[in-house]
Amino acid sequence: MIKSIQELEEIRKKALEELEFRKQQGEGIRVVVGMATCGIAAGARPVMLKFIEEIQKRNLKNVTVVQTGCIGLCKYEPIVEVYEPNKEKVTYVKMTPEKVTRVVAEHLVNGKPVYEYTIGYEENKEANN
């Protein structure tokens, strides 16, 4: 129970600081890993853990990793979507922990998506076979 106006002000201040932190995080890069049953069965969990490990190792404060349900493209699982402010979403498919290292280094750090891991590349490859 709140016992004073001062205590209420402290709660308000903390809530506003957390809200501001979330706003700042929203301005960064968001990595979304498909973690529905199909994604997990295809290996999404180790992929997500590798993203978290690589991002922490590089101390990338502007990148958040979140999970989502079914993205709707089960044959391409594990799927990872990268959202950057004012840029088109990049969808990576058939991801592995080994591919994550390159995506983090080239895309998240240097801003250059790894085209051969994207859905566009995969669809072109299928169309030409």
Inside any domain, residue 66: yes
Inside any domain, residue 82: yes
Inside any domain, residue 36: yes
Inside any domain, residue 7: no
Res 93: pLDDT: 96
Helix, strand or coil for residue 91?
strand
If one counts the domains in the chain, the total is 1
The yes-or-no verdict on residue 16 having pLDDT over 90 is no
Question: 96 is in which domain, residue-wise?
Answer: 29-128
Average pLDDT of the residues in 26-53: 91
Inside any domain, residue 33: yes
CATH code for the domain of 40: 3.40.30.10
Q: Which residues lie below 8 Å from residue 58, measured CB to CB, with a gap of 6+? A: 104, 109
Res 122: pLDDT: 84
Question: Mean of the per-residue pLDDT values for the chain?
Answer: 88
Phi, psi of 104 (to 5 degrees): -65, -50
For the stretch 48-100, pLDDT in tens is 999 999 999 999 888 999 999 988 888 999 999 999 988 999 999 999 999 99
